Amino acid sequence: MPDCARDYWKLSYFKSVASRDLDRWSRHLQRVSCHTGLPGDMELVLRKLHVTWELTVCDNSGQKTRHNLSWARFCGTSVALCWGGGGHLPDLEQISSFLLHGVQRIALRCPGLEPSFMVEVNLSKSLQLISEDRLVELRLLESGTVVGLWKNEQAVAFVMFTLHFHKLVEKIVQGSSLCPYTEPTFKPPFDDIDPEYGLHGYQLHFVLHDTVCELMSGSYSSLFCSKDKPLTLRCIIPTAQICDGLVQLTAINGVNLGQRTLLSGNLALPWRCGALQGTVQNGCIMSLTLLDEFHKPFWCVSSPISIVPGQMPVRNDYAGDPFFAWYEDSGGKVEMQLA
């Protein structure tokens, strides 16, 4: 049998096995959480489908090198993926881009299917400093991607991606490097509520966490705005005011003490590279899921964010330093005031 024909049937076989496994676990994807609008068994499904991820580093000369995943951590509605440098990654100034692929391993000692392209991150833009400790500094490349640099050097200590669960299985199983998964267009049903009522029925699930544990979470329903006012999205004790063509929603009113949500730990990001490890203060991961009035994901985000000293009006019921955090991408913007 010619090599091309043998490779074709081999690939067809592995695709049929992958499809069979997906059908077997698809019922778990149908168990949707009423708070997040996402499958509640996502971690179980990803593990049972033998999903892993590969990082491809492209240098300025065009050479590409693949790196196996160092560790993965699941938390709430997202997963954090990390690749440790250990001397195997080029210096930052020699890297042109990172490519992230999802890989489904069919069985032990069997080759996987064609990797599914998920994210490409170019290093042409300046890197935002999230925070630092005595050994490393964390730089945000773009939404969901962080590179850890050894202090006073250009050497890469580690690279970390954070991925939101929304359509994550579909992107890996149904996509490929040549044809990435494209989410079907959702046409909302007709809404016959009085148009003067404005936007209504939005729901927000918000989590602040690190790579180990959850620091704070909350679900806020029945978010709305009237027709003559911009919709307000206030996440956490914060105000997230979105204007200039963006929708605003109010989840928590900072004046209302009963709506305030407490943090269960310090806002920090632990890191590990080989035998070295540490904790970078004033940084964490924000995972946000905004559902529309039909309970469909409207905006989904998972990204490291920086926590900086902020300004807040002096209140008799508050003692301590205020902090400020923000996030923005093409889908929206969040601003938070943390007490």
What confidence tens digit (pLDDT) does each residue in 285-313 have?
A: 999 998 888 888 888 999 999 988 876 55
| Predicted local distance difference test score (pLDDT) of residue 23 | 67
Q: Nearest Cα to 321, choosing from 304, 306, 305, 307?
A: 307
Selected residue with higher pLDDT from 276 and 229 = 276
Measured distance CA(1)–CA(4) in Å, rounded: 8
Residue 28's contacts (CB-CB under 8 Å, 6 or more residues apart) are: 39, 41, 44, 45
Measured distance CA(246)–CA(221) in Å, rounded: 19
Reported pTM: 0.81
| Predicted local distance difference test score (pLDDT) of residue 146 | 94
| Predicted local distance difference test score (pLDDT) of residue 27 | 75
| Predicted local distance difference test score (pLDDT) of residue 149 | 93
Domain boundaries, the chain: 4-174, 202-338
Selected residue with higher pLDDT from 314 and 210 = 210
Q: Contact, 194 vs 200, CB < 8 A?
A: no
What confidence tens digit (pLDDT) does each residue in 128-171 have?
A: 899 999 999 999 988 789 999 998 887 899 999 999 999 998 88
Measured distance CA(329)–CA(305) in Å, rounded: 12
* Mean pLDDT score, 240-264: 52
Query: At residue 252, does pLDDT exceed 80?
Result: no
Mean pLDDT of the chain: 77
* Mean pLDDT score, 113-117: 72
Which H or E run contains 14? helix 3-29
Measured distance CA(156)–CA(143) in Å, rounded: 19
* Mean pLDDT score, 245-274: 64
Most confident of 90-94, 106-110, 243-247: 90-94
DSSP for 144-201, written as a single string: TEEEEEETTS--EEEEEEEEESTTHHHHHHS--SSS---PPPP-PPP--S-GGG-S--
| Predicted local distance difference test score (pLDDT) of residue 248 | 62
Q: Return left, alpha or beta for 87; rule: phi > 0 is left, psi -120 to 50 is alpha, else beta.
A: left
* Mean pLDDT score, 202-223: 85
At residue 243 the predicted structure's pLDDT band, cuts being 50, 70 and 90, is very low
Measured distance CA(308)–CA(233) in Å, rounded: 21
Residue 114's contacts (CB-CB under 8 Å, 6 or more residues apart) are: 11, 176, 177, 178
Query: At residue 271, does pLDDT exceed 80?
Result: yes
- CA 234-237-238 angle, 5° bins: 45
At residue 94 the predicted structure's pLDDT band, cuts being 50, 70 and 90, is very high
Residue 325's contacts (CB-CB under 8 Å, 6 or more residues apart) are: 238, 286, 305, 306, 307, 308, 335, 336, 338
Query: At residue 237, does pLDDT exceed 70?
Result: no
Query: At residue 241, does pLDDT exceed 60?
Result: no
User: Cα dihedral angle (106, 108, 112, 116), rounded to 10 degrees?
Assistant: 70
| Predicted local distance difference test score (pLDDT) of residue 18 | 60
Query: At residue 229, does pLDDT exceed 50?
Result: no
